[in-house]
């Protein structure tokens, strides 16, 4: 790997020249990922949403991620494992509004059934059964919507840039199915870090370059890219 860039002077601001020094050092020796050399791969399917995510560990310490959705082109990118934080981030989103609606409808359905059973009246008999059926159907639909919109996500962030660079997202049960994949990624990240053993300056310079490459692949948004560059420059100070 090439030598580390000149460190910033104490008390000086982060200027444009330091930015370019980190991002565009031309002495790169790192081989590009070979997508044909897969060591191990995992595929996780979310049939309810029609999403399939494939995570592949490539030779030369790279990770490839691809996502396929119904009637949409496949999206994918690859990332250098040495620049990933080995601690995965877990996030669960619960569709609380649908859950509250389902619970409220459950109470109304139960009340409607009790009225039909215990209050015998011609007018009640006429409307209680249809009401119970409608409420029961609405309750079931609300629970199904709660299940559909509740999601689980496991993702990895870059070491100093702190932006998501690889992840798996889906419905309930995704975290459980993703555990073997996450454990393999963590193991490979640690192997990559031991293999390269970069100094902090060299690591930050190459991590900046890696974020630029990820941005070019469309893996990072403009905002994520800008935030990652700022964090790396601050770590370099």
DSSP 112-174: HHHHHHH---HHHHHHHHHHHHHHHHHHHHHHHHHHHH-EEEEEEEBTTT--EEEEEEESTTH
Most confident of 25-29, 112-116, 195-199: 195-199
- 76 in helix, strand or coil? strand
> Is 166 in the same domain as 204?
yes
Whether 8 maps to a domain, the answer reads no
Are the beta carbons of 32 and 62 closer than 8 angstroms? no
Element (H, E) at 95: none
Q: Are residues 198 and 211 in the same domain?
A: yes
Q: What is the rounded radius of gyration, in angstroms, for the C-alpha atoms of the chain? A: 26
Beta bridge mates, 57: 40, 63
Lowest-pLDDT range of 10-14, 24-28, 183-187: 10-14
Quick: pLDDT tens for 196-210: 988 999 999 999 999
Residue with tokens 């919109």: 149
Instruction: Please report whether residue 13 resides in a domain.
Output: no
Q: How confident is the model at residue 126 (pLDDT cuts 50, 70, 90)?
A: low
**Together in a domain, 70 and 100:** no
Three-state DSSP state, 52: strand
Domain end call among 149, 165, 186: 149
Residue 18, domain member (yes or no) = no
Whether 33 and 53 share a structural domain: yes
End position of a domain, from candidates 125, 149, 173: 149
Same domain, 79 and 143: no
3 is a domain residue = no
Is 66 in the same domain as 117? no
* HSE-up (13 A, CA, CB side) for residue 49: 21
Residue 12 within any structural domain of the chain:
no
What is the distance between the alpha carbons of residues 157 and 128, in angstroms, rounded to a whole number? 55
199 with 161, same domain? Answer: yes
**216 in the same domain as 159:** yes
| Domain with 182 in it | 29-85+154-236
Residue 165 is assigned to a structural domain of this protein: yes
Residues 80 and 106 in one domain: no
What's the mean pLDDT in 180-203?
94
pLDDT, tens only, 49-63: 899 999 999 999 999
Q: Is residue 10 part of a domain?
A: no
Work out how many domains the chain is built from and give that number. Answer: 2
Same domain? 165 vs 231 = yes
User: Does residue 138 fall inside a structural domain?
Assistant: yes
- 163 with 213, same domain: the answer is yes
């Amino acid at each position: 790997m090439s030598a580390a860039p000149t460190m910033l002077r104490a008390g000086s601001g982060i200027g444009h020249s330091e930015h370019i020094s980190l991002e565009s050092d031309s002495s790169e020796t790192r081989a590009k990922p070979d997508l044909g050399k897969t060591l191990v791969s995992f595929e996780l399917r979310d049939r309810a949403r029609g999403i399939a995510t494939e995570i592949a560990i490539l030779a030369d310490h790279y990770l490839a991620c691809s996502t396929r959705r119904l009637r949409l082109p496949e999206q994918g990118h690859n990332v250098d494992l040495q620049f990933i934080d080995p601690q995965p981030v877990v996030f669960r989103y619960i569709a609380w509004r649908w859950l509250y609606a389902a619970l409220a409808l459950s109470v109304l359905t139960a009340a409607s059934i009790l009225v039909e059973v215990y209050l015998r009246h011609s007018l009640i008999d006429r409307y209680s059964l249809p009401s119970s059926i409608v409420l029961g159907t609405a309750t079931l639909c609300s629970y199904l919507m709660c299940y559909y919109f509740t999601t689980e996500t496991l993702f990895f962030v870059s070491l100093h840039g702190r932006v998501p660079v690889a992840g798996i997202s889906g419905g309930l049960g995704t975290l459980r199915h993703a555990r073997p994949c996450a454990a393999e990624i963590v193991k490979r990240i640690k192997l990559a870090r031991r293999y390269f053993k970069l100094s902090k300056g060299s690591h930050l310079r190459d991590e900046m370059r890696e974020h630029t490459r990820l941005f070019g692949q469309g893996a990072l948004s403009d905002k994520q890219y800008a935030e990652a560059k700022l964090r790396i420059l601050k770590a370099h100070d």
